[in-house]
A and B are shown apart, each in its own frame.
Chain A
Amino acid sequence: MSDVALGSARRPFALRFPSVLVFLAILSIFTVVVTVLSEGFGVGVISTSFVKTLGKTLCLCLVALAMDLVWGYCGILSLGHMAFFGLGGYAIGMWLMYARTEIIVLESLAAAELPPTPEEVSDGIATQIFGVVGASEFPPIWAFAHSLPLQLAAVVVVPGLLALVFGWLAFRSRVTGVYLSILTQAMTLALSLHLFQNDSGLRGNNGLSGLQNLPGLSDVPQSIVSMWFFWASALALGLGYILCAWVVSGKFGSVIRAIRDDEARVRFLGYPVEAFKLVIFTLTAVIAGIAGALYYPQAGIVNPAEIAPIASIYLAVWVAIGGRGRLYGAVIGAAFVSLLSTWFTGGQAPDINLGFYTIQWVDWWIVILGLSFVAVTLFAPKGIGGLVDVFIDRKSPDRHGADLGPDQGALREQEAEK
C-alpha cells in the first residue's frame, strides 16, 4: 500500500494509489459508527461535544493533508498554513454572525410601530456586532457579509489570493529553506497582530463568536447540527484525500517530489519550478481555508490567537509525527496528536502525584509533545505512519545516511521507500 505504487502511469488511479481505497473505507466506517453512536441520530453514547471534537479533528486532518502536500511532497516547509485555515474560519464566521444578528435585530424591531428602515436594521446589526470594540458601523470588509454565496467564495478566494501574492513574491526571489519558513511565520504573525487590533474590522481579540448557531435554524438542536458538520467534515476530508492523492500521483507528483529533492536539477529539465511551487502553495492554502471554514462553526469561535505563529508550527509537528511524504501519515499525525492534546489539556488526564511534585498534564503536555517531536525527528523519521510499513513490507533504502537529494527539504533516507 505504498502511496505511489510502481507501474504504468496509465493504470487506473485507484490501483496506482491503493491507500485511497483503504482510507475511504476507514473514513466511511468511522462516519457510520459515530453517527450510530451519536445523540442526534443514534443511541447517544457519544456526547454532542465529543462529536464536535471529532468533527474538528477531521478538519485538522484535512489541513494536515494540505501541509503534507506542500511540505512532504514539495519540500516547502510553510509555517503559515494555519493562517489560511483561520482566514477560512473568519470568512464563513462573518456570514454566520451577520445573518444570525440580523434575525435577532429584525425580531426586536418588529415590536416597533413603524416598520424599520434598512438603515435602522443595518445600524442595529452593526451595533450588536461591533459594540464590544466600541464601533457601530460596518467596516468595508463586511460588504459581502449578508451573502452566504459570496462569503463561501471568500473562504476559497481570500486564502488563495493571499497565498498567490505571498508565494509569487517569495518564490520569484528564490527564497527557500529556513528563510522561507521564517517568511511564512512573519506572514502569519503580521496577520494575527493585525486582527488583534480593534479597528481591524473583525472585532479585535474578541474574534467572531456564536458560530455554532446556524441562522434561521435555531430550532434545530446542536446534537443534530453537530452531526451535519461532522458529515460535511468527513466528506471534505474524503474528497481532499482523493484530490491530494490525484495531485501527487502521475507526472505532477513526480515533478513536485523532484523539486523537493533537487529543485535546481528540475529547472535544467525545463520545468518552471516557481510556477509549480506557486500552484501547490495556493492549492494547499485553499484546502486549508475550506478546512477552517468547517472547523470554526464547530468550535463556535474564531479569534486572532488561532492564527498565532505557534499554530502553524503545531501543524508541521503533526505531519512530522504522523510521517511526512505519505498522505495517510499526515492524517494519522493530526488525528492522534490533536485528540491526545484535547485529552491532556481538557483536564481528563489524571494528575500524577509524585509526593514532592504533582504533574499536571495541562502544563506538561506541551513538554511531552515537544520531546516526542524531537524523538520522532531523531529516531523515527517515518513517524507513526511508518508502522504501516511493517505490515505492507515497505523498506527504506540503504544509502549510508545520504538524503535523497541535495535540497533542505529533501526526503531523508528513512523516509524514503526502497
Chain B
Amino acid sequence: MSTLLEVSGVSVSFDGFKAINNLSFQIADAELRAVIGPNGAGKTTFMDIITGKTKPDEGRVVYGDRGDSLLKMSESKIAQAGVGRKFQRPTVFEDQSVFDNLMMALKKTRGPLAVLFFKPSSEDEDKVAKLAAEIGLSGALHRKSGELSHGQKQWLEIGMLLAQDPRLLLVDEPAAGMTPAEREHTTDILREAAKTRAVVVVEHDMEFVRRLNCKVTVLHEGSVLAEGSLDHVTKNEQVIEVYLGR
C-alpha cells in the first residue's frame, strides 16, 4: 500500500502557544485510522492544516501519487484534489434542503461556469437519493437542513462527504449527538468507506474507536504520543497518564 498523505515535522503556534508541535503522520491509500487525544490536543488543528485552513509555521504536507505539497494549495484546490472533511460541529447549509446540500457536494466540476450551466441528470438524482437512503434522510430530502436534529445534521454531513467521493476523508467527531444504534451505523459506513480510500477519524468515545478496529494515533500537546492498535496504545504508560487515567 502506498502512502497517500505524509505530514512531517509540522508545527503551528497561535500567539506563541504551540498547538501542533513537530507532528509527523502518515496514512496509506485504503486505510482506516483513528486519532484520539484529550481536549486541546490539536486534533482539529491537525485537520485544519491538511485542508489548508491553517498554514503551519514549519513542516511538510505531501499528498497523492505525485507527492504534491498541500501547503501551496488553496482550500478549494485541496478539496478538489480529493480531501474531504467533516467538521466537529456539524456544518451544513441550513437555509437549503437536504437535497440541495447533497447535490452541491456531489463530485462534479466546481468552476462557476460549469455550475451555472449544470443540469442534474437522473443519474445524479438517483445518486443523491441513494446517499439519502444510506444516511437515513430519505424522508427529509426536501426539508431545510436547518430543521434537522443535531444527529441528522451529522448524518447529512457524512452524506455530503461521501457524495464528494474523496480519496482522503477527515472526520472530526462524527458520533457526537448520535444514539448507540446510529453510532454503530456510522462505524459501518466509515469501515466501508475505508475499503477504497483513506479515512481519518477523530473520536473521544473509546467504544466507538474499538468498533472501528483499526490503527490508533494518540495526540497530546500537538504531537504523536503513541501509535498502534488500541490495545497497544492503551497499555502505554504515558497514554494512560495523560488521557485514559483521568
List chain A positions with a Cβ less than 8 A from chain B. 6-10, 247, 250-252, 254-255, 257-258, 261-262, 264-265, 267-273, 275-276, 278-279, 397, 399, 404-405, 411, 416-418
Contact = CB atoms under 8 A, between A and B. Distances in A.
Nearest to A265: B91
B21 interface: no
A418 B94 CA distance: 10
B22 to A, nearest CB: 26
Interface in B88-107: 91, 93-97, 99-100, 103-105
Interface residues of B, number: 38
A69 to B, nearest CB: 13
Contacts of B113: 279
6 closest Cβ pairs, A-B complex: A270-B79, A267-B75, A404-B95, A270-B80, A252-B116, A279-B112
Given A251-B120, A275-B112, A399-B146, A269 B94 contact: no
A418 B93 contact: no
A405 B79 contact: no
Contact of B93 (A262, A273, A397): A262
Contacts of A272: 74, 76, 110-112
B100 A254 contact: yes
Given A6-B99, A397-B144, 5 more contacts: A7-B142, A10-B125, A270-B80, A273-B76, A275-B112
A248 B143 CA distance: 19
B88 to A, nearest CB: 13
Contact of A261 (B95, B116, B122, B125): B95
B103 A254 contact: yes
B235 to A, nearest CB: 37
Contacts of B125: 8-10
A257 B118 CA distance: 16
Contacts of A252: 112, 115-116, 118
B146 A254 contact: no
B154 to A, nearest CB: 15
B95 A411 contact: yes
27 contacts: A7-B142, A9-B120, A10-B122, A250-B116, A251-B103, A251-B120, A252-B116, A255-B115, A258-B93, A258-B96, A264-B53, A265-B87, A267-B75, A268-B79, A269-B76, A270-B80, A272-B110, A272-B112, A273-B76, A276-B115, A278-B112, A404-B95, A405-B93, A411-B95, A417-B95, A417-B144, A418-B147
Contacts of A397: 144, 146-147
A271 B110 contact: yes
Given A252-B116, A255-B104, A404-B94, A270 B53 contact: no
A132 B164 CA distance: 63
A278 B100 CA distance: 22
A9 B106 CA distance: 14
